Structure 1
Amino acid sequence: MKLKFKNRIALFNTIAVAITTAIVFVVIYLVVSQTALTHLDNDILTEKEEVFSNLDWHRDSIIINKMPEWDEAEHNKIEVNPTFLQIVNTKGKVVFHSSNLLKDQFFFNPHLDQELFYNSRLSNQKIRLGQFPIKNKNRKIIGQLTIAISRQESYAMLNSLLWILLISFPLVLIVLFIASSVAASKAIQPVHQLISTASKINDANIETRLRLPERKDELYDLTKTINELLARIEASMLQQKQFTSDASHEIRTPLTAIRGTLEVLIRKQREPKVYEEKITSIIQQVDRLNNLLEQLLQLARIESGAVAAKKETLFLSSIIHALHLKWREALAGRAMAFHVDVAKEATVTADKLFIELILDNLVSNAIKYGKEYGNIFIVWNEDLKTLSVKDDGIGILAQNLPNLFDRFYRADESRSSVIKGNGLGLSIVKKLCDLQSIKMFVESQPNEGSTFTLNFPR
């Protein structure tokens, strides 16, 4: 339907009103028609009472008394508001008819035992008829009385009413469509203003927000929703810019170190031992780049939805024991004690690879940011279904906690230190937890340590 929004509103409104109006018009016509017929039937019943008052019977024979009623003009003329009378006996023979009936005869039901009203025609004139059984004192039917009156006036009135309704119906709809279109145009004018303002927003002025309407209606909700969307887009763009800047910095640093080392080496001939030291340094920088690219690829796969969690029942103690072999050298290098309080039968439903990555990152962070000769605790709470990784290291300031899971984010304490890292580990941990519906909580105090708690779904 290639109509403008305002015209669609007007069209749907017109269709709804058209249906309602049609129903109302039909009801009006039926009510007026029924009222007209009821009025005619009442006149017939009045005439019936007068006729019955002048009838008598002897056994099965009808006796008609001569009364002035039979000579009234309405029974003699057929032109203006005539009343027609016909009486037949049980054999179907007409025993009386009004003079205005001339040679015509009404059809009747000889077996009728109750009143009957119906429409018919007489000499091209529309009439309303009523047929009534004539009964003697023994309630035996001895004949039938038919009374007819003209319904030309009623027909003319109903015909005029029908034409008025048929002509007024499309006129009303046309006027209504125009009025609805004008009203809809005014109603959606604020929407055009929103479109005009929103179309001017781009990446250069993404901080622009739409003006909220004074009335808190649906348009207010729409504007508020658009503003919230713009805020999310702005935050995403800023985060993307920050990510690009941080990624460039993280990649440029080892590349610069590699380039500087190579430039030093080619300036003059050096001892083999110096070459070994410098090459070892270059290998370390290459490893750092390789680790960074691997983590970036992990983030890209997770965020693209290409990675799906394969949930299975896992024994936490066996996973921690296997990873402990990997952490043993790093723990020994810092003389740290490793404490595990996880029952052998403790199980969770999760993806094994994801859990290994999560624990590896959390414990590696605890080793890096823990203090020498410190402690790392891994504790399982069966009642709460939580696994905690706790260290007693440098801790995290309260103002840094909200940004802890942002990509490339590292607190100032770690930036100013010699601790290696690129700030991607916790971001990967958070996304892997979200994929498995695992809730993660962080508690930390400066110089007292940090606790990362994983709350597994039951």
Structure 2
Amino acid sequence: MRFGLLKHLPPTLRFRLTFWNTVVILVLVGGALWSVRELVRWTLISELNAGLIEDVKDVQLIIDHFGLNWEEVAADLEPKIISNSDRGWFVRVFSSSGELLWSSSNAPELKIPAAQAVKPGSYDRANYHLLQRSLPEGKRAPPLIVRVGVRRDQVDEDLWRLTKWMLAAFAIILVAAPVSGYWLAGRATRPLATILNTTARLHPANLSERLPLRGSGDELDQLSATLNGMLDRLAVHLEQQRAFVANAAHELRSPLTAMRTSLEVALERERSPAEYRELLADLIEECISLSNLINHLLLLAEGDAGLLHADGQVRLDELVRRAADMFQGIAEQRGISLQVQLPHAVSIRGNRVHLREVIHNLLDNALKFTPERGTVSVEVNAPPGASRVQLFVRDTGSGIPPEDLPHVFERFYRADKSRQRTQPTGGSGLGLSICQAIVHAYGGEISLASTLGKGTTVTVSLPISG
């Protein structure tokens, strides 16, 4: 298990940030300190090699001068040996075959493999650093091998001193990294604690509290702003839901109360068959109204749940023509001119029943608010090659006040502020809401423009089926 150890760490984000921050710092600092130590060691060894190379050159000059007269060679090298006695400097001379020809008196006995004994290069044995070089044949000497060496004590002491300082620095960082990391992680996660505390206090009954913004513009500020936006939308949605439930209860209670009252009055005394038939007819009418209201509520619930889907091709021009034919009689009865302008055949993806509901609602609203001798026009506009078709429903009615226009698509909203079902214009206030839910479900848009005293235009835009 690669990260099995992490499962045993405390679950807080602050601790995990501190842990990973400490691990990264220690790895980086440890690697940097080790690299510096190795660089210093390499530098010291390089300086040591440079000095030994110069020593080999000096030995070569002496041998070129005295030849194989080792007494003269020893006498010439004696001052150098004495002056470097504290370093343990020594020299040995071998034949090209590896036979020892001469050695300084202070040369240590080092066990060196035979293959390495004749191989040029530098290497370490015991606490000595050695440099071995081949000398070419000279005027007074054959080819030789010279080995010079010094003790590594000074280099090792310098390295150990540096290592101790580095270990002390690493120990300080080992303590400081988690402490400072824990403090920094606390500052970084403090806004998260505020977010958690604030969200824990939130309740559907009170969504007025918002997360504070620090003005830093960082990711936590963006998170707070995003959550505040979500809370705003949630508050609006809950308020709409409360209003919807209250209005639905009101709309259902009024006809039920009327039905109950009618039945109670009917039971107070004996009535004639004609009176009972009239009462039953009224009850059936109320039941039909209730059924329509419930169907509308169910349709809106399906829209909220995303269950309104296109299930086939629908001829929009045919739906508009049939709807206009159906409302033509009502228009004539009210003295209103109903005009229809249809293009060639236009097909869209949708549900025939739902789209018919949209057209009927728009025509019903237009006729309801248009006075006698007014005009209601229906136009379907789909230019050749266009990707969307537009449906216009215009009337010359009373219009809608400007302050009511932003609310016309809200559920149960009535621009006339009337809630009496007995008035001719009194509806449930769900017509435009249903139209909007259906149009949006099919990828369309619906808008309304109105001028008080001149009329209203509703525009529906839907994608044309390919």
- Please, what TM-score do these two structures have when normalized by structure 1? 0.84
The one of 42, 46, 49 equivalent to 2:54 is 46
The reply on whether 1:71 has 2:78 as its aligned counterpart is yes
How far apart are 1:422 and its partner, in Å?
Answer: 0.8
The alpha-carbon distance between structure 1 residues 335 and 235, as it changes in their structure 2 partners (threshold 3 A), is same
How far apart are 1:295 and its partner, in Å?
Answer: 1.0
Tell me the distance in 1 between the aligned counterparts of 2:109 and 2:213: 86
Tell me the distance in 2 between the aligned counterparts of 1:297 and 1:445: 33
Provide the secondary structure at the position in 2 that maps to 1:287. Answer: helix
The one of 398, 404, 408 equivalent to 1:400 is 404
The one of 412, 435, 451 equivalent to 1:445 is 451
Residue 19 of structure 1 is matched in structure 2 by: 27
Tell me the distance in 2 between the aligned counterparts of 1:170 and 1:354: 75
How far apart are 1:350 and its partner, in Å?
Answer: 4.3
Tell me the distance in 2 between the aligned counterparts of 1:75 and 1:330: 131
Instruction: Tell me if the contact between 2:376 and 2:393 (Cα under 8 Å) persists in the aligned partners.
Output: no
| 1:398 aligned partner, one-letter code | P
The alpha-carbon distance between structure 1 residues 415 and 134, as it changes in their structure 2 partners (threshold 3 A), is same
Tell me the distance in 1 between the aligned counterparts of 2:352 and 2:256: 35
How far apart are 1:294 and its partner, in Å?
Answer: 0.7
Q: Percent sequence identity over matched residues?
A: 24
Which deviations, in whole Å up to 9, do the C-alpha atoms of 1:254-282 show, x marking residues without a partner? Answer: 11221222233333344444433332222
Instruction: Tell me if the contact between 1:76 and 1:98 (Cα under 8 Å) persists in the aligned partners.
Output: no
Which deviations, in whole Å up to 9, do the C-alpha atoms of 1:183-219 show, x marking residues without a partner? Answer: 4335544554554455444345433444544655555
Tell me the distance in 2 between the aligned counterparts of 1:268 and 1:277: 15
Tell me the distance in 2 between the aligned counterparts of 1:86 and 1:314: 107
Residue 45 of structure 2 is matched in structure 1 by: 37
| 2:288 aligned partner, one-letter code | D
| 2:448 aligned partner, one-letter code | V
The reply on whether 1:386 has 2:390 as its aligned counterpart is yes
The one of 101, 105, 127 equivalent to 1:99 is 105
The one of 105, 109, 119 equivalent to 2:124 is 119
| 1:365 aligned partner, one-letter code | N
Instruction: Tell me if the contact between 1:439 and 1:454 (Cα under 8 Å) persists in the aligned partners.
Output: yes
The alpha-carbon distance between structure 1 residues 135 and 355, as it changes in their structure 2 partners (threshold 3 A), is farther
How far apart are 1:24 and its partner, in Å?
Answer: 1.1
| 2:408 aligned partner, one-letter code | L
| 2:461 aligned partner, one-letter code | N
Which deviations, in whole Å up to 9, do the C-alpha atoms of 1:151-205 show, x marking residues without a partner? Answer: 1222233244445544643542232212322343355445545544554443454
Tell me the distance in 1 between the aligned counterparts of 2:74 and 2:92: 16
| 2:398 aligned partner, one-letter code | I
The alpha-carbon distance between structure 1 residues 56 and 116, as it changes in their structure 2 partners (threshold 3 A), is same
| 1:397 aligned partner, one-letter code | P
The alpha-carbon distance between structure 1 residues 259 and 47, as it changes in their structure 2 partners (threshold 3 A), is same
| 2:12 aligned partner, one-letter code | K
| 1:302 aligned partner, one-letter code | G
Instruction: Tell me if the contact between 1:212 and 1:220 (Cα under 8 Å) persists in the aligned partners.
Output: yes
Residue 341 of structure 1 is matched in structure 2 by: 341
Instruction: Tell me if the contact between 1:395 and 1:445 (Cα under 8 Å) persists in the aligned partners.
Output: yes
Tell me the distance in 2 between the aligned counterparts of 1:105 and 1:173: 42
The alpha-carbon distance between structure 1 residues 332 and 276, as it changes in their structure 2 partners (threshold 3 A), is farther
Residue 359 of structure 1 is matched in structure 2 by: 359
Residue 241 of structure 1 is matched in structure 2 by: 242
Which deviations, in whole Å up to 9, do the C-alpha atoms of 1:42-68 show, x marking residues without a partner? Answer: 22122122112213299xx97766364
Residue 294 of structure 1 is matched in structure 2 by: 295
Tell me the distance in 2 between the aligned counterparts of 1:62 and 1:435: 108
Which deviations, in whole Å up to 9, do the C-alpha atoms of 1:285-304 show, x marking residues without a partner? Answer: 11110001111111112212
Of 163-172 and 235-244, more deviation after overlay is shown by 163-172
Instruction: Tell me if the contact between 2:343 and 2:380 (Cα under 8 Å) persists in the aligned partners.
Output: no
Unaligned runs of 5+ in 2: 1-8
Which deviations, in whole Å up to 9, do the C-alpha atoms of 1:370-418 show, x marking residues without a partner? Answer: 3344323223142464222222223222211211111111112665752
Instruction: Tell me if the contact between 1:82 and 1:150 (Cα under 8 Å) persists in the aligned partners.
Output: yes
Q: What RMSD in Å do the two structures reach over aligned CA positions?
A: 3.4
- Please, what TM-score do these two structures have when normalized by structure 2? 0.83
| 2:404 aligned partner, one-letter code | N
| 2:395 aligned partner, one-letter code | D
Which deviations, in whole Å up to 9, do the C-alpha atoms of 1:223-261 show, x marking residues without a partner? Answer: 444433333333223222211211111001111221222
